[in-house]
């Protein structure tokens, strides 16, 4: 009888674990990010714009294929990255592939608080712990204090006031305006929204969330913020532009960080699958595969020495 009760107990425990694991969110999100230089030959000569905003609106509506063809014809370089995000409960992996960097993967099990940055072409794994972020922040503060020592009292006070202002700044809230335009994009039924952020103009093609992905994206994002003491930065989080909607495509008219010339930055979600990712997507390669392991601070010191 005791053995029978034990077997029943183990069976019920197995059912509980199986049911609990089945509730964990499992997704695969495929994205493509492109930075396309603007070729003004795409604007017909007989068109005159009354204000600069009209020209920007015209460019934002040009199909992506035409933008790329015109950029290549002008000899411009198109920067493109393929990004695939794998979510399996607490495990998250973001795999990026580009011509310049090759394949790079970030893996995190947010229960452990450790993140791994894998550079496949270099066969190197960088281990990043929450305390590493604290050390990095400490070193940055020390460097800032040394810089302030060489300033006049007036300039020093001004810099500290600006720093305090940034520290207490509220998170940016975007005013996304519905334009009335609709389009089917990558299998998603989308509506168009427009956002103006400083000097950038952003168009979002957003879709209703039928898979529950937004709740999971917010959960993962909040976990990372807690682990690494992240705060709202100046970058645009495309998932926050139109709350409650999937940002299927985000088009941003901005200036290139490399050249300072106008470019169109396009982020597209090409597929969302609600399924369990392969376990090897969360496996960190080691010595058997010929990989070496380094720490975040070592990487930062190497980068600094190269710059000097």
Q: 241 or 307: which carries more pLDDT confidence?
A: 241
> What is the pTM for the complete model shown?
0.77
pLDDT at 111: 63
H or E element, residue 28: strand 26-37
Of 157-161, 206-210, 251-255, the one with minimum mean pLDDT is 157-161
- The residue among 193, 197, 191, 192 whose CA lies nearest residue 173 is 197
Quote the mean pLDDT of the chain.
80
Q: Is the pLDDT of residue 301 over 80?
A: no
Q: For residues 176-182, give the mean pLDDT.
A: 92
Contacts of 120 (CB under 8 A, 6+ apart): 102, 103, 104, 105
pLDDT at 233: 47
pLDDT at 226: 62
* DSSP secondary structure code for residue 209 in this structure: -
b/e per residue, 192-217, with b = 16+ CB within 10 A? bbbbeeeeebbbbbbbeeeeebbebb
Structure tokens at 7: 């077997």
Of 147-151, 203-207, 212-216, the one with minimum mean pLDDT is 147-151
pLDDT in tens, 240-258: 889 889 999 999 998 765 6
H or E element, residue 141: helix 130-149
Of 7-11, 58-62, 186-190, the one with minimum mean pLDDT is 7-11
pLDDT at 160: 78
Please state whether beta strands 292-295 and 124-128 pair in parallel, antiparallel, or not at all (unpaired).
parallel
Q: What is the edge-to-edge ordering of all strands in the sheet holding 200-208?
A: 177-185, 188-197, 200-208, 245-255, 262-273, 26-37, 79-88, 91-98, 102-109, 114-119, 124-128, 292-295
pLDDT in tens, 66-118: 999 999 999 999 999 999 999 998 889 999 999 888 999 999 875 667 889 99
Calpha distance 83→125 (Å, rounded): 19
pLDDT at 297: 67
pLDDT at 3: 46
pLDDT at 12: 37
Q: 289 or 129: which carries more pLDDT confidence?
A: 289
Dihedral-angle region of residue 85 (phi above 0 means left; psi in -120 to 50 means alpha; beta otherwise): beta
């Amino acid at each position: 009888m005791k053995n029978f009760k034990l077997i029943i107990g183990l069976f019920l425990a197995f059912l509980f674990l199986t049911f609990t694991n089945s509730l964990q969110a499992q997704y695969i999100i495929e994205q493509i990010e492109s930075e396309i230089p603007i070729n003004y030959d795409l604007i017909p000569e007989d068109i005159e714009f009354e204000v600069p905003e009209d020209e920007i609106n015209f460019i934002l509506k040009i199909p992506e294929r035409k933008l790329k063809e015109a950029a290549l014809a002008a000899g411009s370089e198109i920067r493109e990255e393929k990004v695939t995000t794998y979510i399996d409960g607490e495990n998250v992996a973001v795999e990026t592939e580009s011509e310049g960097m090759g394949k790079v993967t970030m893996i995190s099990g947010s229960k452990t608080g450790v993140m791994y940055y894998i550079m496949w072409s270099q066969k190197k794994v960088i281990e990043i712990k929450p305390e590493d972020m604290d050390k990095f922040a400490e070193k940055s503060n020390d460097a800032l204090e040394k810089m302030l020592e060489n300033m006049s009292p007036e300039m020093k006070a001004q810099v500290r006031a600006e720093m305090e202002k940034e520290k207490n700044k509220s998170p940016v809230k975007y005013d996304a305006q519905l334009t009335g335009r609709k389009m089917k994009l990558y299998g998603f039924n989308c509506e168009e929204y427009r956002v103006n952020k400083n000097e950038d103009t952003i168009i979002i093609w957003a879709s209703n969330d039928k898979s529950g992905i937004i709740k999971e994206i917010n959960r993962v994002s909040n976990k990372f913020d807690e682990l690494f003491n992240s705060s709202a930065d100046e970058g645009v989080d495309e998932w926050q532009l139109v709350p409650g909607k999937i940002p299927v495509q985000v088009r941003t008219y901005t200036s290139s960080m490399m050249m300072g010339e106008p470019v169109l930055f396009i982020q597209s979600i090409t597929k969302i699958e609600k399924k369990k990712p392969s376990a090897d997507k969360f496996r960190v390669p080691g010595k058997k595969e010929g990989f070496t392991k380094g720490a975040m601070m070592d990487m930062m010191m190497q980068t600094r020495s190269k710059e000097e």
